Structures are given as structure tokens and as C-alpha cells.
Structure 1
Amino acid sequence: MNDLEQLVAQVLTKLKQRERQTYDCVYDRQAAAPDTQVFLDHATVTVANLSIELIARLYRLDTADPWVAWLLQAIDYRVELRLVVNDLSLAFIPRPMLLDWPVIFMTPEFRQVRAVYPHAIARSAVAGLPDRTILVVTPTQRLTAEAHDALSKKQMTLQMRTDEACIWQK
């Protein structure tokens, strides 16, 4: 095997290792954000205890905050980013983050928090979500009868927002 083939083999081995590695940390405003080396070694990163304040700064892309800069770097490194928030914080997550951001919001019980685009939510939209998901909907969205059945079978919960904005955006 020549040097190039060895190098390719080493890179592939490292990538396969990375795919199996997860990193868990707890957000603490007073503590330094972890090192970016985490993203080279782990394909999945879970950050627990996310504060409402950090969610707002992340949404505004406030890179002066070291934790925001670190989380945005995770996205750059194509890390599966799981952000754990408590149930009472759900109303503070901007809907565009639930719809479009490449992060997964979840509760401490590991229930994913999701939103969907269609105004008429069909069974197929619900069926494509993980079991026990908390589905955030607005008053303009309606579920079909089949979607309600799927929601029940998958033990999902609906959380109604009064409008498109979250609490701190009003």
C-alpha cells in the first residue's frame, strides 16, 4: 500500500469512528464553551440545560457569545446538534428554528420538538416524525382526521402557539 492509500485509509477510519461518537455537555453561562476539537471527534453533540437567553442569542447569531459561536461552528462541521430545553421553554423557541435550522430541539425526556410547514397537516407529515414528538402548531394550521389518528398512535403532543412568533419576539 502506498502512502496515499494509507492516508485515505486512516481518514476513512477516523470518519467511521467519528460517526459512532457522541458528546454530551451541559450549558453553563459562567463556564467556557467546549473546544472545537469536539466536532472533529464526535458526529453528534447534545447540549443540555439550554437557557432561553442562549436560544435568543443563537437565533440572533450573536457570535460575541462564545457558546453561540461554538454552536454555530458545530453546524459548520456538520455535527448533529441536539439542544435540550425544559418543557416550559418551548414557547421561547422561534418557529423558524424549529422549521429550518439544522438542529434538533428536545426535552429532557428526549422528546423531539418539531414544527411543519403545511397549513393542512396530513397523516404523512405526522408519520414522518419520531414517536412522542411535541408538534408545535399555529392557529392557522389544521390536522386532518388521519393526522390526528397518527398523532395518537405515535403518542405525540400538540403545542399550540398563539401566532407564528415566540414569546420574546412580540
Structure 2
Amino acid sequence: MNDLEQLVAQVLTKLKQRERRTYDCVYDRHAAVPDTQVFLDHATVTVANLSIELVSHLYRLDTTDPWVAWLLQAIDYRVQLRLVVNDLSLQFIPRTMLLDWPVIFMTPEFRQIRAVYPHAIARATIAGLPDKTILVVTPTQRLTAEARDTLSRKQMNLQMRTDEACIWQK
């Protein structure tokens, strides 16, 4: 095996190891952010105890906040980010983050918090979501009868938003 083949084999081994590794940390705005080496060694990063303040800073891309800069760098490294917020914080997560951002919001019980685009939510949409998901919907969205049955079977909950904006965006 020549040097190039050996190098390629090492890189592939490292990538395979990375895909299986996860890194868990707890957000503390007074603590230093973890090292960026985490992104090279782990394909999934879970950040627990996310504050409403950090969600707001992240949404606004406030890179003066070191945690925001670190999280955005994780996205640049194609890391799957799982952000854990408490149940009372749901109304503070902008719906666009739930719809469009490449992050997964979760509760401390690891229930995903999701939103979907269709105004008429069908069974297929609900079936495509993980069990026990908390689905954030707006008053303009409606679930079909089959979707409601599937929601119940999958032990999912609906979280109604009064409008598209979250509390701090009003």
C-alpha cells in the first residue's frame, strides 16, 4: 500500500469513527465553550440546558456570544446539533428555527420539538415524524382525522402557537 492509499484509509477510518460518536455538554453562559476539536471527532453534539437568551442570540446570529459562534461553527462542520430546552421554553423558539434550521430542538426527555409547513397536515406528515414528538402548530393549520389518529398512536403532543412569531419576536 502506498502512502496515498494509507492516508486515504486513515481518513476513512477517522470519518467512520466520527459518525458513531456523540458529544454531550451543558450550556452555561459563564463557562468557556468546548473546543472546536469536538466537531472533528463527533458527528452529533447535544447541548443541554439551553437558555431562552441563547436561543434569541442564536436566531439573531449574534456571534459576539461565544456559544453562538461555537454552534454556528458546528453547523459549518456539518455536525448534527441537538439543543435541549425545557418544556416552558417552547413558546420562545422561533417557528422558523423549527422549520428551517439544521438543528434539532428537544426536551430534557429527548422528545423532539418540530413544526411542519402544510396548512392541512395529513397522516403521512405525522407518520414521518419521530414518536413522542411535540408538534408546534399555528391556528391556520389543521390536522386530518387520520393525522389525529396517528398523532395519538405515536404519543405525540400538539403545541398551539397563537401566530407564527414566538413571544420575544412580538
Tell me the TM-score range normalised by the shorter chain: over 0.9
Across the aligned residues of Structure 1 and Structure 2, the Cα RMSD in angstroms comes to: 0.3
Question: 2:153 is matched by which residue type in structure 1?
Answer: K
SS in 2 for 1:62: coil
1:35: which partner in 2? 35
Structure-to-structure mapping, 1:58-137, within 5 angstroms: 58-137=58-137
Summarize deviations over 1:120-151 as a string: whole Å, max 9, x none. 00001000000000000000000000000000
TM-score by length of 1: 1.00
Question: 1:53 is matched by which residue type in structure 2?
Answer: E
SS in 2 for 1:16: helix
Give the distance between the partners of 1:143 and 1:113, measured in 2 at CA: 17
Segments of 4+ moved more than 3 angstroms: none
Q: Tell me, which stretches of 5 or more residues in structure 1 are unaligned?
A: none
Q: Does 1:19 align with 2:11?
A: no
Give the distance between the partners of 1:53 and 1:35, measured in 2 at CA: 22
Q: Does 1:56 align with 2:66?
A: no
The alignment covers a number of residue pairs equal to 170
Summarize deviations over 1:84-133 as a string: whole Å, max 9, x none. 00000000000000000000000000000000000000001000000000
Question: 2:24 is matched by which residue type in structure 1?
Answer: D
Give the distance between the partners of 1:5 and 1:160, measured in 2 at CA: 55
Question: 1:82 is matched by which residue type in structure 2?
Answer: R
TM-score by length of 2: 1.00
1:169: which partner in 2? 169
Q: What's the % identity of the aligned pairs? A: 89
1:159, distance to aligned residue in structure 2 (A): 0.2
